[in-house]
Structure 1
Amino acid sequence: MTAAENMETGREGARSVRAWDPLVRLLHWTLVTAILLNAVVLEEESRIHEYVGWIALGVVVTRMAWGLIGSKPARLRSFLPNPRAALRHGAELLRGEKTVHLSHNPIGALMVWNLWACIGGLAATGYMMGTIQFFGMEWVEELHEAIFGWLIASIVLHLGGVLLDALLSGDTPGAPMTRGRRRIPDGARVE
């Protein structure tokens, strides 16, 4: 390992590799901002709430499109949802095995697809509430609220997973999504 790599990682015996490209990071933080705005700042029935919801959906669609042509860690095929792989990964974590994933780990992959599905469900039910056919229908509003509740619970689990990953890898929490690089301890298995 070079002196520059040691300085960059801040740890002896670790190297830093590129993980998330700038577009993935921009889309991630734009989605975070949109969710925060609609959850905390904006009035639920305001026009701007609707616009921010459409922006969130646009971010997810753009991210999925980038997943077809973007960098290798950003490719959708790098983190297809696989419950069996997620269970295997969980068992590896319990055994103390450390595999570093340049993309999402198998549990994180399930979470990403879950979060994207929540945004799609919120957009669909939000749209429905504004149509003549579904306007004022209580079940649509309740479904919208239930999806939002699931989204918030999922975000809390996601943040817990980020903290656990940082603890196990020795990396700074959220560093790959802020600086675009991931620390890899020497000898760690990389996928």
Structure 2
Amino acid sequence: MNPNLSNSSTQSAPTVLVWDLLVRIFHWSLVGFFSLSYVTGDSGSQVHILSGYTIAGLLGFRLVWGIIGTQHARFSDFVSHPGTILQYLQSIVSGTARRYLGHNPAGGIMILLLLSGLTVTVFTGTMLAGFEGQGPLASSPILQLDEHWIEEVHEVTASILVFAVLLHVSGVIFSSRMHQENLVKAMITGRKKQQEKDHD
């Protein structure tokens, strides 16, 4: 097949709304507030604490929207069996990976890892605020745990999250090149090209 014809058909493919407005607002808000939390982490300032609480609210919303939201926002749409994830990774290596309208299996597990890591980071951060007499855990029995250990978990998890974000961005760039579509733009507009062989 002529690659120019393939590129032309990709460019002219009709678009369909994949990411609803709330998913897009959540995504870019999370990018902003996680970045703010990370750069203010050493200061322990009110900005850092408030950005952490905002992330907690965003995570709460995403949990609910992952259950009752639109098709590609739901966990049921992108949470895959480990075997499916492995098969997808193997198909990437062999160059036969299918294109997904929503998250592909590798992207889906990355989303779960990011959300889980953020939950741990926010919870341990709330505990650290509690040790200082602030926040909803200020008088909680859970504060009997060792503060130094909680701080270590908080910092290590945040660092792992940065690495995971870099992997996520690398995956987005790779998929964009492989399927000849700007996935960053898709998360701004909400729309992606629809092709006959897409996995819904």
Q: Which of the five TM-score ranges fits, normalised by the shorter chain?
A: 0.7 to 0.9
| Aligned mates of 1:155, 1:143 — CA distance in 2 | 18
- The answer to whether structure 1 residue 177 and structure 2 residue 164 are counterparts is no
Unaligned runs of 5+ in 1: 1-8
Q: Shift in Å at residue 130 of structure 1?
A: 2.4
Unaligned runs of 5+ in 2: 1-7, 132-142
After TM superposition, the structure 1 stretch with the greater mean CA deviation from structure 2, 154-163 or 125-134, is 125-134
What SS does the aligned partner of 2:14 have?
strand
Which residue, 139, 148, 165 being the options, matches 1:138?
A: 148
What SS does the aligned partner of 1:189 have?
coil
1:45-124 matched pairs, under 5 angstroms? 45-124=44-123
What SS does the aligned partner of 1:188 have?
coil
TM-score normalised according to structure 1 size: 0.86
What SS does the aligned partner of 2:15 have?
strand
- Is contact 1:129-1:135 (8 Å) kept? no
Aligned to 2:171: 161
Q: List per-residue Cα deviations over 1:136-174 (Å, max 9, x = no partner).
A: 821111111110011000000000000011011100141
Q: Which has the higher strand share?
A: 1
State the identity as a percent.
28
Structure-2 change in CA distance of 1:131 and 1:81 (3 Å): farther
- Is contact 2:40-2:47 (8 Å) kept? no
What SS does the aligned partner of 1:102 have?
coil
| Aligned mates of 1:11, 1:106 — CA distance in 2 | 22
Structure-2 change in CA distance of 1:24 and 1:136 (3 Å): same
What SS does the aligned partner of 1:125 have?
helix
- Is contact 2:101-2:198 (8 Å) kept? no
- The answer to whether structure 1 residue 188 and structure 2 residue 187 are counterparts is no
Q: Shift in Å at residue 81 of structure 1?
A: 4.5
Q: CA RMSD in A?
A: 2.2
| Aligned mates of 1:26, 1:33 — CA distance in 2 | 11
